Amino acid sequence: MMRTFFLVIIIAFFAQVASAQTYRITVNIAVHSNNGKVFVELYNNFDGYPADHEKAYRKVFASIKNDTSTVAFDSIPAGEYAVACYHDENDNGKLDVNFLGIPAEGVGASNNAKGFLGPPSFKNAKFSVSGDVTQNIEIRY
């Protein structure tokens, strides 16, 4: 009886450790100049993607060197994610848009997904994480 109890405890412990496995998402972003910063958001579901910054799972401003910015999101559980980013070229902390609401600064998404008359959908930008992942994004201007 006691042996069975300890066996159950050990199995439960290892199941918990296995389910707590996390990974790294590395995002390499190509831009056309070293001016400003790149704003990168990681979403773990479609809700809010890509416009509602408050619903992003993680977000960060990143510096640019040699027309490239690299961001690493650590401790990410397995699942489906999408990245949205923009080149804040004038470094004012926001995505500038024209009078029609069209971005006046460069934007990008994971899988280099493109939108039609708007931003790409979560469905087109999503990727699976079950190990360390690298996404290479080319900003479109």
CA–CA separation, 134 and 14 (whole Å): 28
pTM: predicted TM-score of the whole model, two decimal places: 0.86
In this structure, the strands spanning 37-43 and 22-30 are unpaired
Residue type, 89: E
Q: What structural domains and CATH numbers belong to the chain?
A: 22-138 (2.60.40.10)
Q: What is the average pLDDT across 30-44?
A: 98
User: What is the three-class DSSP state of 106?
Assistant: coil
pLDDT tens by residue, 57-110: 999 999 999 999 999 999 999 999 999 999 999 999 999 999 999 999 999 999
Tell me how far the alpha carbon of residue 12 is from its chain's centroid.
Answer: 32
3-state secondary structure 36-90: CEEEEEEECCCCCCCCCHHHCCEEEEECCECCEEEEEEEEEECEEEEEEEEEECC
pLDDT tens by residue, 21-35: 999 999 999 999 999
